[in-house]
Amino acid sequence: MKRLVIAPQQSNAAGIPLGYGRLHLSKPSFADPELTLMHPDPIVLNKDGLVPPIYLKPDTGPFSVSVTDDAGTPIWSADDVIT
């Protein structure tokens, strides 16, 4: 199991928390270290823009990550992320 570390709180360019924003991953992710509880895609941030714990399978190769606000407007993205 690998734990993906992303800033615990996502914000827009003005520093305002992305309440109910969306975190998109191009690989399956899990909510528990045992890899039994799969996250939905996208992962919905809470009202304060906080990201839940994210776990990946050990053999996860490069993948893409992106964050949008609750309306789907892109905030940031990264390709070829390696854990």
pLDDT tens per residue, range 6-59? 888 999 999 999 999 999 999 999 999 999 999 999 999 999 999 999 999 988
In a domain, 83, yes or no: no
CA torsion sign for 38, 51, 62, 66 is positive
- Decide: residue 20, CB within 10 A, 0-12 exposed, 13-18 middle, 19+ buried: middle
Q: Which domain holds residue 66?
A: 1-75
In a domain, 82, yes or no: no
Tally the domains of the chain: 1
In a domain, 22, yes or no: yes
In a domain, 51, yes or no: yes
**Residue 1 pLDDT > 70, yes or no?**
no
pLDDT band with cut points at 50, 70 and 90 for residue 2: low
Whether this model's pTM surpasses 0.85: yes
Place of tokens 């992106």: 66
